[in-house]
Amino acid sequence: MKSFENNTDWKDLTPNPHPPQSVLGLSIGTKHIGIAVEGRKELIEWRVRRFRGKWSDDKLSTILRYLEKIITKHHVEAITVKIPETHYHTPAFAALKNGLTTLAKQNNIPIYGYTIRDLKSWYRVQGNIFKEALMEAMLDIRPELKHEYLKEKKYKTGYYIRIFEAVATIHLCYRMWEL
């Protein structure tokens, strides 16, 4: 698990002594962001949000304003992020990471980051493709995601997997306090 300690590095993190009451889970990218909000161990909101257009400062501002509205609306106490693989770390991603770090610091919210390796270590199902196994594992925990699961199975676009990744990061975050 990593944290956005500053704008350049991912640092190891020791969790707060008590679990957060409201968590925003994100699977971030510069075009699509998987979003899940859990409050009091109940999934409140989930969606994939698409941000059209080429990368620009305006697009970054739009994304950060959108996330800030969610943080305010749900009184978010922690943010969890699925960290993309290193080869996806573009200058646009770095700007988004820095913006998210700044937003979290302004709101005094910790960020917990999880790599694909972290997710794979917790959600492994024999004989299944990892993303399919992840969706099935999250569906067992959160049956309200069945609609998105069926859409992803039907269209196989990879669009809805972002929701499942966001929910998985929240689930891993809460596991820190269960150990």
pLDDT digits (tens, 9 = 90+) for 131-174: 888 999 999 999 999 999 999 999 988 899 999 999 999 999 99
Across the chain, mean pLDDT equals: 88
Nearest Cα residue to 21 out of 45, 3, 43, 41: 41
Largest separation between any pair of C-alpha atoms in the chain: 44
pLDDT at res. 72: 98
CB burial of residue 154 (10 Å; 0-12, 13-18, 19+): exposed
- Count of Cβ atoms closer than 10 Å to residue 91 Cβ: 9
Domains delineated in the chain: 3-178 (3.30.420.10)
- Count of Cβ atoms closer than 10 Å to residue 122 Cβ: 13
In this prediction, residue 71 has a pLDDT band, given cuts at 50, 70 and 90, of: very high
Looking up tokens 């350049």 gives: 8
Classify the C-alpha dihedral 9-158-45-72 as positive or negative. positive
Q: What is the DSSP string of 5-22?
A: -SSS-EE--PPPSS--SE
User: For residues 139 and 169, what is the distance between their CA atoms, to the nearest angstrom?
Assistant: 14
User: For residues 19 and 63, what is the distance between their CA atoms, to the nearest angstrom?
Assistant: 27
User: Which of 16-25, 57-66, 138-147, 157-166 is predicted least confidently?
Assistant: 16-25
